[in-house]
Structure 1
Amino acid sequence: MKFDLHTHHDRCGHASGTIEDYIKSAIEAGITAIGISDHSPYFAHEKDHPQPGIAMARSEFPNYIAEVLRLKAQYEGRIEVLLGVESDFYPEHIELYRSSYALYPFDYIIGSVHQTRGVSIFNRNRWKNLAEDKHTDEKRHYYELIRQSADSRLFQVLGHIDAMKGYYPSFAEIAGAEAEIDEALKAVARNDIAIEINTSGSTKDCGGWYPTDAILERALHFGADVTFGSDAHVAGRVGDEWELVQTRLREIGFKRWVFYRQKEKVLVPI
């Protein structure tokens, strides 16, 4: 059973290819279940499409849902197509996002912290001229938001939970946030959701997956489930490094990983 829950397409404005391109690539890669999970609109913004290069327009969201459901039916028997979305996590807007998603039959929702204190987690300039003690504060704040996202009970999967290292590899070495990381992982286990092993980190400056092995070891310790996501923004990356991740999880000690169908966990032995 081979699955990939994290894929994007051209609607978000920074990925290439249609949804069907990703489905076809998944079939070629021997994927059994492919999750379509493009970036959520900015539901709380007054404009319909405030950031065209980052996420789809709010008015486009129903069309996205309809296309995935059409392709799910079209490819039935060849590959299982799962309806997902990668949702931003904004604590102040959580109920608006919850009500927006309640209208649709999602198989799963990925919750990702993409901004802290109003700045993208991928903005390497946020670290320039920042005092060392403030580095720890930023890391603690980031994992507190991740803990809150787990406790919101809106998401089945938490996306790329150490992606701040993507363009700032030293993030992984910032000490002093161990308690916050543990609390986030405890929340994942407590709420019976999962973190993803996201292989797109290998395309960034950090050159490795999200999260680190150390975090995966803590996740296993606390009984948090894991899933797989390539975070593909080009169709050719669907399922990228799946077998390597499977092997590494087995080495760490995981016995299973999961994907979601109609928001219910499907357990897959490793």
Structure 2
Amino acid sequence: MSSDFHTHTHCSPDSSTPVAKVLEVALQRGLHAIAITDHAEIDPTGFGFVSPHCRSYEAYRQAVLEAAAAYEGRLKILLGVEVGYRMEYNALVRRFLGAHEFDVVIGSIHDSPPVDWWDPRSGELLKRDPEKGVQALAWYFTELLGAARSGMFDIIAHIDVYERYLPGMWPDPFSHPTVAPLARKAVQAIAEHSRMEINLAMLNRDGHFAWSSLRFLEMYREMGGRPPVVGSDAHRPSWVGLNIKEGEELARKAGFRGTAPWEEVVSGKRK
């Protein structure tokens, strides 16, 4: 039975979707379980939820529980969080997670200085100065390694997310002499301490995953990684549960029997 482990609602600053709408679409698409995993990030007051609609854990939990009540017995709903991680925030993140209870905790890296994924000029920067791409991915995989080794995360999200924003413009993470060793260390740490996500938002406009997605999954399996999870990374209703079957097929192509059910993820939480 299919599960979507990565969704966002109005409790994330980059989504306006009500929790109830996410659950409605999940049921329509035949999902067995869904995790609501809104963003927790650093801000001037500390670490936590940054949406104006849910400025506290209590407000977030209440929003999810109120919507979930109408689906009891029909859909398994997990209270989760996606943590925007940096090693410099490690103590703040640990304190935040220690103070609040979640069914599922996702760790993510959302930047890679000196390259800004969201700046339209970054493509020209990488063409003009490829070394900036090397520096960016070295930074990214070092942070990803730190996130996995921290042991705080049940899932590490979208390992090749940089390809989503600037596809085909990065050094090869499997062969570049600087980047590849760091990428391998990060994948090994995910295999040992967490679980890899197949992020469905990594499907490109032609309906194919980023070229690196399968390679990373194969490496993760060879390093002893447990079955991965699938997450839509939905920020709007139409994305919820979208392309789940394609994600499950990618897991099989990588040599897994399938993706992990929600029971396995929750019962296998890393402490």
Question: Which of 63, 70, 77 in structure 2 is aligned with 1:67?
Answer: 63
What is the identity, as a one-letter code, of the residue corresponding to 2:214?
Answer: D
Residue in 2 that maps onto 1:165: 163
C-alpha distance in structure 2 between counterparts of 1:238 and 1:210, whole Å? 23
Calculate the TM-score normalised by the size of structure 2. 0.85
Superposition deviation, residue 102 in structure 1: 2.1
What CA RMSD, in Å, does the superposition of the two structures yield over aligned residues?
2.8
Residue in 1 that maps onto 2:221: 220
For the 8 Å contact 2:80–2:104, the answer to whether it is kept is: yes
Residue in 1 that maps onto 2:92: 96
Residue in 2 that maps onto 1:31: 31
Structure 2 matches for 1:115-130, cutoff 5 A?
115-117=111-113, 120-130=116-126
Residue in 2 that maps onto 1:82: 78
Instruction: Please state whether the residue corresponding to 1:39 is helix, strand or coil.
Output: strand
For the 8 Å contact 2:107–2:147, the answer to whether it is kept is: yes
Q: Which moved more, 1:254-263 or 1:74-83?
A: 254-263
Compared CA separation, residues 242 and 85, structure 1 to 2 (3 A): same
For the 8 Å contact 1:200–1:209, the answer to whether it is kept is: no
- Cα shift readout 1:159-200 (whole Å, capped 9, x = no counterpart): 111111112102455351222111111101111x21111111
Residue in 2 that maps onto 1:196: 197
2:174 paired with 1:180: no
Residue in 1 that maps onto 2:8: 8
Which consecutive residues of structure 2, in runs of 5 or more, have no partner in the other structure?
Answer: none
C-alpha distance in structure 2 between counterparts of 1:210 and 1:18, whole Å? 33
User: Percent identity of the aligned residues?
Assistant: 26
Question: Which of 230, 240, 264 in structure 1 is aligned with 2:267?
Answer: 264
Instruction: Please state whether the residue corresponding to 1:170 is helix, strand or coil.
Output: coil
- Cα shift readout 1:246-266 (whole Å, capped 9, x = no counterpart): 123212211242255584239
Calculate the TM-score normalised by the size of structure 1. 0.85
Q: Which moved more, 1:228-237 or 1:208-217?
A: 208-217
Compared CA separation, residues 33 and 178, structure 1 to 2 (3 A): same
For the 8 Å contact 1:165–1:206, the answer to whether it is kept is: no
Which consecutive residues of structure 1, in runs of 5 or more, have no partner in the other structure?
Answer: none
Q: Which moved more, 1:117-126 or 1:223-232?
A: 117-126
Residue in 2 that maps onto 1:135: 133
Compared CA separation, residues 156 and 115, structure 1 to 2 (3 A): same
2:114 paired with 1:111: no
Compared CA separation, residues 48 and 163, structure 1 to 2 (3 A): closer
Residue in 1 that maps onto 2:51: 56
Superposition deviation, residue 108 in structure 1: 1.1
For the 8 Å contact 2:23–2:68, the answer to whether it is kept is: no
C-alpha distance in structure 1 between counterparts of 2:73 and 2:45, whole Å? 42
C-alpha distance in structure 2 between counterparts of 1:48 and 1:243, whole Å? 35
- Cα shift readout 1:19-70 (whole Å, capped 9, x = no counterpart): 110001000000000100011143x523899xxxx94157343201222233
Residue in 1 that maps onto 2:256: 254
C-alpha distance in structure 2 between counterparts of 1:154 and 1:20, whole Å? 28
Compared CA separation, residues 249 and 41, structure 1 to 2 (3 A): closer
C-alpha distance in structure 2 between counterparts of 1:161 and 1:171, whole Å? 16
C-alpha distance in structure 1 between counterparts of 2:262 and 2:241, whole Å? 16
Aligned residues: 260
For the 8 Å contact 1:31–1:79, the answer to whether it is kept is: yes
- Cα shift readout 1:104-152 (whole Å, capped 9, x = no counterpart): 2201111100123376544453453352233222212211111110001
Compared CA separation, residues 205 and 150, structure 1 to 2 (3 A): farther
What is the identity, as a one-letter code, of the residue corresponding to 1:169?
Answer: P
